[in-house]
Every structure is written in C-alpha cells, then in structure tokens.
Chains A and B, each alone.
Chain A
C-alpha cells in the first residue's frame, strides 16, 4: 500500500463509522416519544456489543485456554500454573516481577514527592516540573532507547572509547567498563530505573497538587509549634497527603505489573530479565505456547485485582475528604 491508499483507507473507515453512527442517531430521533427503550438501546448497544465481543469473550476464552496445552487442543488441568511455580526459568520471571513491583513504585513516589516539595512555590516551578514530567509523554520504547544509550558498552581495548555515559563514568573513575544489560540481577535494576524515570513525573504531578491542597492554617499551626524543613515535611506534609500518596503508589504498582515495552526493547526478556507481562508475549507470540501464555495472562490479571480494588477504595476516600 502506498501513502495515499493508506490515508484513503483511514478516511473511508472514519466516514463509514460516522455514517453508521449518523444512521443510528437518525433512526433513534425518528422514534416517537414514549418508545424510550428503543432509543436507549440505540445509544448503548454499540459500545456494549463491542465490549462483549472484543473484551469479555476473549478474556473468558483466555481463562479457558489456560487449562490446555501449547496447541490448546488437550486439556492439561492446572499443569500450566504448576509450571509457573516449578520451572526454574519461570520462577525467575516471578522473582523479577516481585522485584519490579517492590522497587519501582516506592522509589518513583519518593523521588516525585521530594522533588515536588523542593520546587513547591519556587520561582522556576512550572519549568522545573515540566523537565521531570516530559518522560511521561514519550513512548516507553523511546525511553528505553534513551537509557540503552546510557548503558551502552564498548569492549575495553585501546583506541576504543566508551560512548555510553555510565561506562565512561566508570572509566573516568579508573574502573573497568561493564556489560550492564547482561549481568543479572543488576540488569533488572537498571531496567527498573527506566520506569522510575518515567513514573516519577506522574508521582510529582499528583503529589504536588495534593501539597498545594494542604490548608494554610495547618501549615501555620506547625510553624507556631516550631516545625521547619525536614520536620515540617515529616509531621505536616506527609500525613496531610497520605491518601494521595497511597493512590500514587497503587497506581504505579499497577502500571509496573503491566509493563512490557521496556523489557521487550532492552533485552527481549533474555539474560534473566523477563517479567510476567513480557513472558506472556514471548510464550504466546514467539514460542507459540498458547496454554502457558494464557496462564501467564491470568496470573497478571489476578495480581492486578487486589491492587486495583485497594486503589479505587482509597480514591473514593480521597475524594470524599
């Protein structure tokens, strides 16, 4: 297909869609008053039908397939789930997922919080914030390339200079350059750095808004009690924004569990860096093991549920303060 053909296809798809929606609205508008049910169905059925076919049915089907073998032909019971907790390579996947979800949310939140407090009401606040926020706008693929360049390794020989910043710093300090992405478990931590780099901006934005929402009289009462600097932070700021802190932590935890792009782009899950969301892709679409892939997807689902429920409840509380 050439460019014109593709653009024509896009225009056609949008026009087709607009035509269908227009027709629905026209017909719904024609219905005589009183036939409310027909009108309501015309409004709500397109979205519900799409969700039923595109999300609910596939999700149920994945659950079903997780009890079958790699070709999804033979029933194997819980064997796929058992494999997750018995096979060494898959245990590494679970271990890595645990490391990700324990490290990334906490570090990103702490950095976001500290930075939000540091720049709060300073002269360059808007500019300073946009520097940290910018990584959130770009793709995780782009972010991964940026950091891959930082970690780049060149063999330690004469006439070969390091082009990655991190290895050059090692050289400047008189140490030997490292193959950062190959050495487990350090490589997992270095991949986590990328997600922290992205998510700190999210944490900073939400927490900064919460800090500005602290009532002035509470701050002044603290001042009268002689609280300044770190003590003010510890005894006034942090307790006042507790609900927002929990929302940020849980939100980043959910994003961490689902992260796929970073691992895929940096290592493809090799060198013991795979996590559940990446292993799902590898098993399903690279190795063609649909049963195991389905089981991994279900495990991801089950891990996310409690955090989401907690997140929503905290959010409700935060809203009804």
Chain B
C-alpha cells in the first residue's frame, strides 16, 4: 500500500552523497568522535550475527558443534564440506529445492507483471463504464492481508485437483501481487504525456499498438522495480509456500524446506548455516547488481503481505 516511490526525494536519495549537489554539500567527516563511535557500534551490531553464521558455514562440522565461531581466529580451518552435504547429501538434498524455488519464482513474476500491465493500461488510457470505481477497488484490495484468502483458496485448489502441483503457488503469488502491481504501473503509465498517445492515434495506431510500441518501452524502469520486488518477495516467502506446498513435498521451495530443517534438525548447525546461506545467495546477488531498482521496489511494496 505504501506509495513511497512517488515521493521524489526517495527516488534520488539512495545514492547518498552522490545525490546532493557537490558544491552545496561538500563531503564532511562525521560531526564528532562520539557520533562516529555510535555509527560504528550500530554497524558492527548489525553485521556481526551474519558474519558469525557465514564463518561457521565454512568451518568443519566438529568445530562448529564444539566451540564458538570466534575460536576460528586461533584455529583457522575452512572447508566447503557443509555446503556439499546440505546441497547434495541424501538427508537434505537442498539442490532439489533450489530448482523448486526457481520454478516457482519465474512464472510468479511474469504472470502478474503482464496481467497488471494490461489492466494498468486500460485504467490509464481506455474508456469504459465504472473505470474509476474499479480502479479504486483494486487499489483498496491492497489492505487485505493474504491470511484472509489462504484457506478458501486452498479449498479451491483441492477441489480442482491442482493441489500438489506448482499451479497453486503460481496462481496465489500472482493474485496477491496484482493490486500493488496494477496500482504502481498505472501511476507510471498515467504520467506519460497524452500528446504522445494522441499522436499515435492520429497516425492510426490502435490500443494494442500503442500499448506495445509506446507504453512498454517507457515503463520499463517501473517493470524492473516491481519485478525485482516481486522476485524477492516470492523467493523469500514462507507462508504461501507452507500453505500450498508444505515443507518437504515435490514442489516445496527452499525457504519452506530450511524452516522445516530448523524444526527437525535444530542443532545440526553445519547444515543450518550452509543452508541459510544457500537460500540467501540469490537475494544478495540481486541486491548487489540491481541496487537501484531493488530499493525502489522494496520501498514501493514494503507493506505487501
């Protein structure tokens, strides 16, 4: 529901110092030693837990279980054995679930983006009865927590015999993404100058042509921002996955499987640490490579769920 993306300063602000004009805001040091120390303390507190688990995931099994990760500095030994076991070992087989996560995520991003593009175009540029009423209704649907829809939706999938396949996950993720996607893409499309569309109409282009040739290229940044957000939302999701796929089934994603491992093998820290980082690898790559879109998408959709 958050439309933070429409606040202009948010779009520019992420790059920090780069966004401010250099003349007016010369880079300066932190205001005081106390402030510097406080900033460093927060940064360390925020990083240390991740660092400890990351280091542990590379330690031999008996070391992880025998003593704390800080002992590594006096007894440095690294191995990829935990990753090998968690990915390909017969008890965990996470590599299967990596595939499942990919298979779940790709259609769950493509389908809502395409459907939302069509609907957003209609709401922004076509005339039909109840247009505004319907748009407000779609907008308002963002407040519905997905919990409210899960059980009856599951019942529908059971009744239609789709349960146990990937379809419930694809359909559920698509449905839950639509209100936000339609709203965001509509905002972008209605910002496009009317003269551009009018000129195309005068040249004899129909709506389908205008949609493909003018709208799609111009709203690409918005598609990227929403696409990245939706990708991460689906990849990181646990609730939808547990409801429609369970945690060990043929179609369960990585998050559900790892959450289940915590319950059943909560002390096997060599498996948990490596497993956790296997699941984080993709989001972190996306974070590093697509930071700009990533931040915009996250800000835009931060209330989803």
Residues of A within 8 A of B (CB): 1, 3, 6-7, 9-10, 13-14, 17-18, 21, 24-25, 28-29, 33, 36-37, 39-41, 43-44, 46-48, 50-51, 53-59, 61-63, 65, 111, 114-115, 118-119, 121-123, 125-126, 128-142, 144-150, 152, 161-165, 168, 197, 200, 202, 205-206, 208-210, 212-213, 216, 229, 244, 247, 251, 254-255, 257-258, 260-261, 264-266, 268, 277, 280-281, 284-285, 290, 293-294, 296-298, 300-301, 304-305, 308, 311-312, 315, 318-319
A209-B9 contact in complex given A123-B27, A135-B46, A251-B303, C-beta closer than 8 Å: yes
> In the complex, what residues of B have CB within 8 A of residue A50's CB?
115, 171, 174-175, 178
Interface size on B, residues (CB 8 A): 135
**Residue of chain A at shortest CB distance from B275:** A145
Does chain A have a CB within 8 A of B42? yes
Q: Which residue from A54, A144, A255, A266 sits with its C-beta under 8 Å from B175?
A: A54
Contact present for A202 and B302 (CB under 8 Å): yes
**Residue of chain A at shortest CB distance from B118:** A43
Residues of B within 8 A of A (CB): 1-4, 6-7, 9-10, 12-20, 24-25, 27-32, 35-36, 38-39, 42-43, 46-50, 52-53, 56, 64-70, 96, 99-100, 102-103, 106-107, 110-111, 114-116, 118-119, 121-123, 126-129, 134, 138, 141-145, 147-153, 156, 165-167, 170-172, 174-176, 178-179, 182, 206-209, 211-212, 232, 235-239, 242-243, 250, 255, 258-259, 262-263, 266, 269, 272-273, 275-277, 279-280, 283-284, 286-287, 291, 294-295, 298-299, 302-303, 305
Contact present for B276 and A284 (CB under 8 Å): no
Contact present for A59 and B1 (CB under 8 Å): no
> In the complex, what residues of A have CB within 8 A of residue B127's CB?
36, 40
Apart from A126-B15, A209-B10, 4 more pairs, CB < 8 Å: A57-B152, A148-B272, A149-B53, A304-B143
Question: Can you report 7 A-B residue pairs in the complex whose CB atoms are below 8 A from each other?
Answer: A10-B166, A54-B149, A119-B30, A208-B16, A284-B151, A297-B151, A301-B143
Would you give the shortest CB distance from B183 to chain A, in whole angstroms?
11
Would you give the shortest CB distance from A25 to chain B, in whole angstroms?
5
Contact present for A138 and B175 (CB under 8 Å): no
A165-B32 contact in complex given A29-B206, A39-B207, A54-B172, C-beta closer than 8 Å: no
> In the complex, what residues of A have CB within 8 A of residue B148's CB?
58-59, 62-63, 297-298, 300-301
> In the complex, what residues of A have CB within 8 A of residue B207's CB?
28-29, 39, 43
Contact present for A55 and B9 (CB under 8 Å): no
Contact present for B47 and A131 (CB under 8 Å): yes
Would you give the shortest CB distance from A263 to chain B, in whole angstroms?
11
A148-B262 contact in complex given A139-B280, A255-B305, A285-B242, C-beta closer than 8 Å: yes
Assembled-state Cα–Cα distance A264/B6 (Å): 34
Would you give the shortest CB distance from B42 to chain A, in whole angstroms?
5
Contact present for B13 and A212 (CB under 8 Å): yes
A54-B153 contact in complex given A17-B110, A209-B12, C-beta closer than 8 Å: yes
Contact present for A62 and B151 (CB under 8 Å): yes
7 closest cross-chain pairs (CB), A and B: A209-B13, A54-B175, A139-B236, A213-B9, A58-B152, A43-B122, A29-B208
**Residue of chain A at shortest CB distance from B1:** A308
> In the complex, what residues of A have CB within 8 A of residue B39's CB?
115, 118-119, 122, 128
Contact present for B151 and A65 (CB under 8 Å): yes
Contact present for A46 and B68 (CB under 8 Å): no
Assembled-state Cα–Cα distance A151/B129 (Å): 58
Contact present for A261 and B238 (CB under 8 Å): yes
**Residue of chain B at shortest CB distance from A168:** B68
Contact present for B29 and A138 (CB under 8 Å): no
A13-B262 contact in complex given A209-B12, A210-B9, A315-B3, C-beta closer than 8 Å: no
Would you give the shortest CB distance from B127 to chain A, in whole angstroms?
6
Assembled-state Cα–Cα distance A137/B176 (Å): 20
> In the complex, what residues of A have CB within 8 A of residue B27's CB?
121-123
Contact present for B1 and A162 (CB under 8 Å): no
Would you give the shortest CB distance from B261 to chain A, in whole angstroms?
9
> In the complex, what residues of A have CB within 8 A of residue B24's CB?
216
A6-B99 contact in complex given A51-B178, A145-B276, C-beta closer than 8 Å: yes
Contact present for B174 and A142 (CB under 8 Å): no
Contact present for A118 and B238 (CB under 8 Å): no
Q: Which of B151, B153, B166, B291 has the most CB of A within 10 A?
A: B151
A161-B67 contact in complex given A141-B259, A315-B2, C-beta closer than 8 Å: yes
Assembled-state Cα–Cα distance A141/B261 (Å): 11
Q: Which residue from B103, B121, B153, B239 sits with its C-beta under 8 Å from A260?
A: B239
Q: Which residue from B53, B128, B150 sits with its C-beta under 8 Å from A41?
A: B128
Would you give the shortest CB distance from B255 to chain A, in whole angstroms?
5
Assembled-state Cα–Cα distance A93/B39 (Å): 36
> In the complex, what residues of A have CB within 8 A of residue B10's CB?
205-206, 209-210
Contact present for A121 and B1 (CB under 8 Å): no
> In the complex, what residues of B have CB within 8 A of residue A39's CB?
126, 206-208
Assembled-state Cα–Cα distance A21/B15 (Å): 38
Contact present for A265 and B152 (CB under 8 Å): no
Contact present for B68 and A161 (CB under 8 Å): yes
